[in-house]
Structure 1
Amino acid sequence: MASNVSPADVIEALRPVQDPELHRSVVDLGMIRDVSVADSKVSLRVVLTVPGCPLRNEIQSRVDAAVTALDGVDSVEITWDSMSDAERAELRESLHGSPGETAGSQAAHGHAEGRSIPFAAPGNRTRVLLIASGKGGVGKSSVTTNLSIALAEAGRSVAVVDADVWGFSIPR
């Protein structure tokens, strides 16, 4: 059965489909490429932001559902690819702007007004390391303690701040 669906129709059908992580249209993100229609079969290439994207199956089901919903489309063939470093950098800039253009361009507000960051001063040798996780019980305190001991044994001055919102676990 011949289909009246064009590649432009497929692109428009995919425009509302969002990347599950970036919450933007897969079309606007430049993830949909090489769309072709032969009879009732649509072929297209989906370019993932990173190789081995863990959300590939979710993206596949969303793309498949949107395309097969078109009248005259019986099947969808998806080939997979991933963005190059340059494409990813371009995407990052389009989503967030260039860090070099915006860094330090806004005045500090609130408590930070008029204050400098002492750790950022030229020549300052202080380094701040943060050990964090969104989950409890994964060994953050153990890593912090062991890292602190190793740095102290290497002759570094070390201080630990246990800033857990639910209460400290590293004793004084």
Structure 2
Amino acid sequence: MKTASVVMAALAAGVMSLASGAFAQTVHYPGGKSTFDGKCAVCHQAGGKGMDGLAPPLVEYPGKYAGSPDGRAQLGHTVLYGMFGPIKVKEKSYNFKMPSFASLSDEEIADVLNYVVFDLNAQHGSAKPFDVAEVKAWRAGPLDQTAVHQHREAVLKGLGL
């Protein structure tokens, strides 16, 4: 009896290990993941799955944005300056006031964008990683949250989304 319970416990542990491994995420940008988990996941949820009605998922559009200069700027401006106003993502509506994260360093912003685009988005085309110089350039031309929202609409049209 004791042997059977030991075998069952070992099997259960093995199944649990396999199950958790099946959902494991490969992380290429651990600094970005750390920033995301500490600052963004509270609204966008773990893995960027989003929260219905509040914060959109980050598992598709950012990957599409990152392939164009306007899309990249939109991602950077959204993180730096926040965004206010209703948006739609895949026919779901969200009305969230994204706060500004301008207090993060240029490196932290580049890392979190890289995490979102390359670790959370399976498809990111030929997008190149974000870097500190790119973030510094976005800081040089600050926008308010309304302008970030308006720019998003132009980016969506340009990308056909």
- Identify whether the pair has TM-score above 0.5, normalized to the shorter chain: no
TM value normalised by structure 2:
0.22
Larger Rg: 1
Structure 1 or 2: more strand by fraction: 1
Normalising to structure 1: TM-score of the pair? 0.22
Q: Kindly indicate whether structure 1 or structure 2 has the higher relative contact order, using CA contacts under 8 Å at least 6 residues apart.
A: 2
